[in-house]
Amino acid sequence: MEVIAQKLDDIVSSLQPLTVEWQDETAHRIIDRLTHFPVKKTYTVADVKALLDENFDDAILIFRLFMGLSKDQFVSFLRGIRDEKGIGVKSYRAGPDSFVEDLLSTGLLEAMAEEANRKPHWSHVLVERLRSGRGSAISGQKRGRGVEDFAEAIVKKVFGSKFDMRCTFTGPKEKAKCDFAIPSKSAPRIVIESKGYGATGSKMTDIIGDIEQIIRAKRPDTALLFFTDGLTWKQRKSDLRKIVEFQNAGGITRIYTYAMAEQFEKDLRQLKKECGL
């Protein structure tokens, strides 16, 4: 045992931080392009088209940088505007005027002018590091919590304080986590999951497992409601389809979005009456 402990100590003491170069060929190309980017008080459609025609992928990356959006956020944003028209180079070439018009509706020209004419200060670099690091995680948390808070307000309106929130409820054979258990986590008649997404990622697939666990744990006569929103579901239709399949099979009672808030409240009132709550 002493030999193993010594070997472990030797390995730990020899560990060093791993440093890597983050600038690849694309980064070098974009940095060079930004270094020589013309500074103007205002930018035009012609400026945007010139960038897209020169190198479509580089142009999209530059636009994302001006707007301060991650790839997932930008794709979700633009897909929400263009719907089924597409957001790739083929879509641009098939209808450049329409593509640029939709692109400009995001506020791109204003963002370009604002950033290009910003007076530099050393703190801007640190603020950007804060935004892209910790800020990105905080934004994701707030998006999810925003949907949860919205659902909570409606639940409170219908049930007052007669519910448990962010808890582990007890079913006939096992337990499962949920956002709302009504009237209590010890004997829920209604279980609600509320999730909001602003960017794609593993969490959108994780919810499938969470819902499956709730379905396994709850009583057959316990209603499971799923409240969600976010344009990125359009990119993860396969995951959303699985959730709809749960509803078709009877595991989920109903799925709601912000646009269905009135129906959500109406259904809660009906369930309150049916369950004698």
Query: Can you name the residues that pair with 7 across neighbouring β-strands?
Result: none
Query: Can you name the residues that pair with 176 across neighbouring β-strands?
Result: 169
Q: Specify the pLDDT at position 125.
A: 74
Of 203, 205, 163, residue with least CA distance to 187: 163
The pLDDT tens digits of the residues spanning 91-106 come to 999 999 999 999 999 8
> Could you tell me which residue, 190 or 133, shows the higher pLDDT?
190
Query: Can you name the residues that pair with 256 across neighbouring β-strands?
Result: 227
What residue ranges do the domains of the chain occupy? 21-118, 139-274
Of 5, 111, 20, residue with least CA distance to 65: 111
**Rounded mean pLDDT of the chain?**
84
Q: Specify the pLDDT at position 47.
A: 94
Q: Specify the pLDDT at position 179.
A: 92
The pLDDT tens digits of the residues spanning 208-262 come to 889 999 999 999 999 999 988 776 677 677 788 888 888 889 999 998 888 888 9
Contact 66, 58 (CB under 8 A): no
The pLDDT tens digits of the residues spanning 17-37 come to 655 577 788 888 998 999 999
Reply yes or no on whether the pLDDT at 144 is more than 70. Answer: no
CA 31 vs. chain centroid, Å, equals 28
Q: Specify the pLDDT at position 216.
A: 93
Q: Label residue 265 by pLDDT band (50, 70, 90).
A: very high
Q: Specify the pLDDT at position 7.
A: 62
CATH of 139-274 among 2.30.110, 3.40.1350, 3.30.310, 3.30.70: 3.40.1350
Block residue for tokens 């979700």: 76
With the CA atoms of 221, 260, 157 and 244 taken in that order, what torsion angle do they form, in degrees rounded to the nearest 10? 30
The helix/strand count (H/E) of the chain reads as 13, 5
Query: Can you name the residues that pair with 167 across neighbouring β-strands?
Result: 178
Q: Specify the pLDDT at position 6.
A: 72
Alpha helices in the chain, H assignment, sequence order:
2-14, 25-35, 45-54, 56-67, 71-82, 89-94, 96-104, 108-116, 122-130, 136-159, 202-217, 237-248, 261-274
Query: What global pTM score does this model have?
Result: 0.58
Mean pLDDT of 105-127: 87
Helix axes 45-54 and 96-104, enclosed angle (nearest 10): 120
Tokens for 119? 């007076």
Query: Can you name the residues that pair with 185 across neighbouring β-strands?
Result: none
Q: Specify the pLDDT at position 237.
A: 76
Residue 197: in which H helix or E strand, if any? Answer: none
